[in-house]
Amino acid sequence: MKYFCKLYKIIFIFLIILLSSTTVFADDILPTEDNFDISEILEDIESIETSGNLSEIPTINSRAYVVIDRNSNTVLVGKNENQKKKMASTTKIMTALVVIENNNLSDTVEISKKAASTGGSRLGLKTGDKLTVSDLLYGLMLRSGNDAAVALAEYTSGSINAFAELMNKKVSELGLSNTHFVTPHGLDEDEHYTTAYELAILANYALNNEFFAKIVGTKTYTITINGYPKSITNTNELLGNLNGVYGVKTGFTNGANRCLVSACKRSNMDIICVVLGADTKKFRTTDSIKLIEYCFNNFSYVNIEEIITNNFENWKKDNINSFVINKGISNYINLDYDKPQHSKIPVKNDLIDKFNIFINCNTNLESPVIEGTPIGNITLELENQTIYYGNINIKSSIARKNILDYLYYFYKYYSNILTNPPYI
């Protein structure tokens, strides 16, 4: 009997060790050695800036990263940004967006047993707890509560699977071809993935939602569970510590490693930085700060619409008299061009004066010419990369001459001869 008791104890201890070694961490549940002082990182970056050594792309630990300009979705810098990766709790960007777009935020949700038993990072909900959709969203995005994620998914769609369908419907609407969701919380699943670039595009879209932006920009918040207040703090270590950061979401699982999506605005430049697969929380923080500071130090907005317009107007002055409209009532042609989708784009400072513009246009046309007809194109290039391509269009129609036009022409011609006979 004693033998069996000892055996049970050994098996029990073994199971505890086994389970603890395979725990799926998420966000706020991190190994103790991952703690660090963010002020030290900021001081190191500041010293690099002061020495002027931030002109080169910094060395980055993260497996994949990207920084995009929010105004134009232009990629400023990236590595493996189009490779499919696990994204852990950055998943909750989509979860929050879908919930906000499909619910009344003041509705009350009762927590199910399934939601209450969800592992990983938790808000600490129990079966039967009641709180509003709004408070659950704060718990989802600040505390990164997986229990809140499941509760919101069940309330919105009835089940996790049905909610995943809503998430993937949104994926299709946004044109994210390398993104697929299985869960609302982001715990590791083989078919749950995105790319750094598409996650940045998703975050950019989500931040256009006023309530979403308010949540992810909140450092601390007090929610109410069963009528009792509970204070929660944002897991985003950059919020409140790095100049200009106003969101978005942290993430960590064993499969995804450390992930961070950051939105940062300084002056007129607004960017989103995504790092995926960092080895430690310190690396994800350092990587994010390095990339953000690099972009703000090395990029400026350029008004490409102004460049295109100036070159086009000069080209018209030189070429407008070269147009021939065969059998048209006039040879004078009014032209316009397709305006760029974004008038201003960020450009690396040492490339601002290196744009090349090419204008090609057919000057021999057959009447009638119809308003809106493309007759040429404009290409704007930077380092052999096409920044803009658009059509040159006819702005106003020119009709073809008819018999009356020819009779009028002959009438004018011979009238002129009769009134002003040639000198003989």
Phi, psi of 309 (to 5 degrees): -60, -45
8 lies in a domain? no
**pLDDT tens, per residue, the chain with 424 residues:** 554 455 455 555 444 434 433 333 445 454 444 667 787 777 776 766 655 566 788 999 999 999 999 999 999 999 999 999 999 999 999 999 999 999 999 999 999 999 999 998 999 999 999 999 999 999 999 999 999 999 999 999 999 999 999 999 999 999 999 999 999 999 999 999 999 999 999 999 999 999 999 999 999 999 999 999 999 999 999 999 999 999 999 999 999 999 999 999 999 999 999 999 999 999 999 999 999 999 999 999 999 999 999 999 999 999 989 998 888 888 789 999 999 999 999 999 999 999 999 999 999 998 898 999 999 999 999 999 999 999 999 998 888 876 655 555 555 555 666 566 665 5
409 lies in a domain? no
Burial class (CB in 10 A: 0-12, 13-18, 19+), 290: buried
* Same domain for 223 and 285: yes
The domain containing residue 381 runs over which residues? 323-403
| Bridge partners, residue 240, by sequence | none
Q: Where are the extended beta strands (E) located within 9-74?
A: 64-69
> Which two three-digit tokens encode residue 226?
């069963």
148 lies in a domain? yes
pLDDT at residue 21, as a whole number: 36
d(C-alpha 124, C-alpha 148), whole Å: 9
Query: Is 6 one of the catalytic residues?
Result: no
Residues 137 and 215: beta-carbon distance below 8 Å: yes
DSSP string, 308-356: HHHHHHHHHHHHGGG-EEETBS-S---EEEPPPS-SEEEEEGGGTT-EE
* Same domain for 125 and 267: yes
* Same domain for 187 and 74: yes
| Number of residues that this document lists for the chain | 424
Which amino acid, residue 399?
A: A
d(C-alpha 117, C-alpha 125), whole Å: 9
Query: Is 144 one of the catalytic residues?
Result: yes
* Same domain for 397 and 251: no
* Same domain for 328 and 282: no
* Same domain for 276 and 187: yes
pLDDT at residue 14, as a whole number: 46
29 lies in a domain? yes
> Of 260, 281, 298, which residue sits at a domain end?
298
233 lies in a domain? yes
* Same domain for 157 and 262: yes
* Same domain for 213 and 117: yes
d(C-alpha 168, C-alpha 155), whole Å: 17
Residues 133 and 176: beta-carbon distance below 8 Å: no
Catalytic residue among 62, 85, 86, 92: 92
> Which two three-digit tokens encode residue 261?
């999506």
pLDDT at residue 326, as a whole number: 87
> Of 298, 313, 346, which residue sits at a domain end?
298
* Same domain for 179 and 146: yes
> Into how many domains does the chain fold?
2
168 lies in a domain? yes
Query: Is 92 one of the catalytic residues?
Result: yes
* Same domain for 348 and 290: no
3-state secondary structure of 232: strand
pLDDT at residue 185, as a whole number: 97
* Same domain for 291 and 355: no
pLDDT at residue 52, as a whole number: 56
* Same domain for 335 and 388: yes
pLDDT at residue 25, as a whole number: 43
CATH code where residue 238 lies: 3.40.710.10
Catalytic residue among 62, 144, 262, 288: 144
> Which two three-digit tokens encode residue 355?
């744009």
Catalytic residue among 62, 89, 134, 288: 89
